Amino acid sequence: MHFIQSLVSLALACATAIPLIEARPSGHESRSDPLSLISPIRGFSFERMAATREPCELKPTRNFQRMKGISRKGAASRTAPVRIGAYQRQATPNDGAYQNITTTDARGVAYAVEVDINGVSVNLIVDTGSSDTWSVQSNYTCTDYMGSMLQQGACAFGHTKPQTFQYGPVPDVHLFVQYGDGEMVSGPMGLSDVTLANITVEKQQIALVNESYWIGDNYTTGILGLGYPSITDAFYGEPYDHEQYQSAPYSPVFTRMVQQGLVDPVFSLAISRNSTGGLLGWGGIPDIINGLDSSTYGYADIIIANIVGDPHTAWAYSFYTIIPDGFQFGMSTNEDKYPFIIDSGTTVNYLPLILADAINAAFDPPAKYLYSYGAYFTSCDAVAPPFSVVIGGTAFLINPKDMILRNQKDPLTGLCMTTVSTGGTGPFILGDAFLQNVLAVFDIGSAQMRFYGRPYY
């Protein structure tokens, strides 16, 4: 049976949309509040995302795009682990109690889709952790970490780049983004039609970057930001003006797509095994996905992980975050409540230390922590323990194939890296090792994340 048919019995009927300024519908208030179950996390605070409507039936959509997996080869600076480490250092600069969790994901994978900007086709990285859509323009300046000019090839952007805004620039407004490791992009903002799949978002505000310190991949030319309007990085004034009082929030691509009545307030991700790519669906679920396991369905409220620290920074990211019911591994169950970021740009799963230790000890042979990598390693032909993430009362089993990275081998010991690592002080992360086993639905309108099991093979 086509998997879309199997969703009908799981979905809820749509209610009348309510205004964006309204709070979560009263029907959701009876749930126990997971925010009261977690301890404060270094550098972060949490708030519940407001719903704009009740959950509705998920529809198949032909408005989908194929994503291409792009190896970062060390350019992991846009991933959630690096951002978390940067914010925790920023929040407590003289306290070394946090744990840096960036090492294990240094060879992760980003996912890119084709986007048409002003008639020019470019490849942009899909990023659920930021909101701005930008592409480097043809005539840009590439710099090093200190700001010294380099040849354009040093920034390693893709070859096809837009040159102008279709409807002209937005006067006195520019993009400025500085990432945790120093990477920077800056450039004017303007209005252009943006086409994704079969959808054209008219007069969308985007940036054409004209100055950048960037560690590229020779394929992508920028970012497709799928986050919230509140975390856009547009500013009034001169190119390097980026104080909080100069911020110029605007509606990013997905928000405008919904506002223009082009799609329902939902998008979905299905990541392929072995980092080959996947599918990105707009307004529903790509109608070509088959084999969804209708017996495994769960949902969780979206909470927003906000950065705590100096408000006058350009590093104002926010993440799609949920609180799972718990975890099952081997014959054990852990029901402690922790906040987890859902991040397609992170390869492994970052768990609390005690949980990560226990799961890795259950490999046969047991996985050992190697401090030189900041990760756990075991025999490349080891037997992984059964490991499930419990969300909405449903246990999502992670395929044993996704528990060991056989292409991440320590040359000295010949051991392979596991995909269960320690997330330091949190927040923690469910990355590709989890997402390869589910269809993840970002139902922004009802402030939920929904997950549907995919074939176990």
Q: Each residue of 284-308: pLDDT tens digit?
A: 999 887 767 767 899 999 987 766 5
- 62-271, which class in CATH? mainly beta
Per-residue confidence (pLDDT) for residue 8, from 0 to 100: 32
Per-residue confidence (pLDDT) for residue 218, from 0 to 100: 92
Q: Each residue of 438-453: pLDDT tens digit?
A: 999 999 889 999 999 9
Q: Each residue of 58-78: pLDDT tens digit?
A: 788 999 999 998 876 544 445
pLDDT at 424 over 90: no
- Tell me if 122 sits within 8 A of 222, measured CB to CB: yes
Per-residue confidence (pLDDT) for residue 102, from 0 to 100: 41
Chain centre distance of CA 457: 25
Range in 237-241, 342-346, 434-438, 453-457 the model is least confident about: 453-457
Q: Is domain 3-60+291-453 in CATH 2.40.70.10, yes or no?
A: yes
Name the percent of the chain lying above pLDDT 70. 77
Count Cβ atoms within 10 A of the Cβ of residue 310 and give its class: 0-12 exposed, 13-18 middle, 19 or more buried. Answer: exposed
Closest CA to 358 of 337, 340, 385: 385
Active site residue 127: yes
Q: Could you tell me the pLDDT band of residue 97, with boundaries at 50, 70 and 90?
A: very low
Q: Return the higher-pLDDT residue of 221 and 8.
A: 221
Q: Each residue of 167-202: pLDDT tens digit?
A: 999 999 999 987 655 788 999 999 999 999 989 999
Catalytic residue among 343, 402, 432, 443: 343
pLDDT at 208 over 70: yes
Q: Could you tell me the pLDDT band of residue 430, with boundaries at 50, 70 and 90?
A: very high
Active site residue 336: no
pLDDT at 385 over 90: yes
Q: In this structure, is the dihedral angle defined by the CA atoms of residues 148, 152, 154 and 158, taken in order, positive or negative?
A: positive
Closest CA to 417 of 406, 429, 430: 406
Q: Could you tell me the pLDDT band of residue 330, with boundaries at 50, 70 and 90?
A: confident
CB atoms < 10 A from the CB of 274, how many?
12
Q: Where in the chain is the domain with CATH 2.40.70.10?
A: 3-60+291-453, 62-271
Instruction: Supply φ then ψ for residue 353, to 5 degrees.
Output: -55, -50
How much is the average pLDDT of 346-373? 92
- Tell me if 220 sits within 8 A of 68, measured CB to CB: no
